[in-house]
Amino acid sequence: MNAAQEISPVNSSPRRPVDSLDTPVRVSPEGPAPVVAAEPPKLTVKNLDAWYGSNHALHGVNLTVPPRSVMAAIGPSGCGKSTFLRCLNRMHELIPGARAEGTLLIDGQDLLSRDVDPVTLRRRVGMVFQRPNPFPTMSIRDNVAAGLKLNGIPGNHHEIVERTLRQSALWDEVKDRLDASALSLSGGQQQRLCIARALAVQPEVLLMDEPASALDPIATAKIEDLIHELKERYTIVIVTHNMQQAGRVSDQTAFFYMGDLIEVGPTEKIFTNPSEKRTEDYVTGKFG
């Protein structure tokens, strides 16, 4: 199935359809808007290389992600999108034989530095995976609270569980059965539960690796709406193989191909006027 045949959720939300991305910018009659100093990036990636043994999977990736924005990583299967994401919270180094080199800054702080405890880092940079992976033996409530206990986070865990379930748009569906097994939820609910679990420890950055690819169109639309809401507070990097989804949810898009970051820029530019021929061929479906 190609991207064009995939989901086309009802467009009832602020999600932007790809074909309306090139709306002209209106110039105000009062003259140009005041210049606002650009905020420093939340994430800065410099010369990032990653290997699995001798397989050089990422080659010198450079990009920045502004705070409270969504970056989509797109590209054909095997091009390094998941590897890139796992480098951002140092899960890459957990794979036997895998290593990464380069500079990764969060608010200017070097994440790859030996002084940074990877567990603390993973609290600041949360991750949601392709397949919902709730802890199967735990209740809905305990799944959300799991990270709070693991990290020894004080406070009223009942309140935090309710707040994060509301934030992940699941509360109304589960409030009467918080002690039921997480596995009693549908796939889409399980994925929102995993998002709640990631949010409970109050991360700053949320990484999502094809979070909707195992879900039906309605559940996918809910996740996309949620991403829109979450970006008011969080910086999000999402891998998706679905280009319409990238167009709907992201501010910037990064196109990866065979371990290279070919091009990164505003999503509307990547989809309507990319600088690189390979980007154009990919987004117009010439290969993939």
- Residue 235 interacts with ligand ADP (CB under 6 A)? no
For tokens 């996740």, what's the residue?
223
Tell me the torsion sign for CA atoms 206, 211, 212, 213: positive
Applying CB under 5 A, does 82 fall inside the site for Mg ion? yes
Least Å from the CB of residue 265 to ligand ADP: 19
CA–CA dist 273, 271 (Å, integer): 6
The entry of Mg ion, ligand ADP, none near residue 80 (CB within 5 to 8 angstroms by kind) is ligand ADP
**3 state DSSP class of 33:** coil
Select the span of 26-34, 41-49, 77-85, 138-146 touching ligand ADP (CB under 6 A): 77-85
State the Cα–Cα distance between residues 130 and 210, nearest whole angstrom. Answer: 5
Of the candidates 21, 52, 66, 272, which one interacts with ligand ADP according to CB under 6 A?
A: 52
Which residue number, 54 or 77, has a Cβ lying nearer to Mg ion? 77
Residue 144, Cα to own-chain centre: how many angstroms? 19
Tell which positions 85-144 bind ligand ADP, by CB under 6 A. 95
Q: How far is the CB of 288 from ligand ADP (least distance, A)?
A: 12
Name the H helices within the chain. Answer: 81-88, 118-124, 140-150, 157-167, 171-174, 187-200, 217-230, 243-249, 267-272, 277-283
* 79, 121, 212, 221: which one binds ligand ADP (CB under 6 A): 79
- In the complex with Mg ion, the residue whose CB is nearer, 82 or 235, is 82
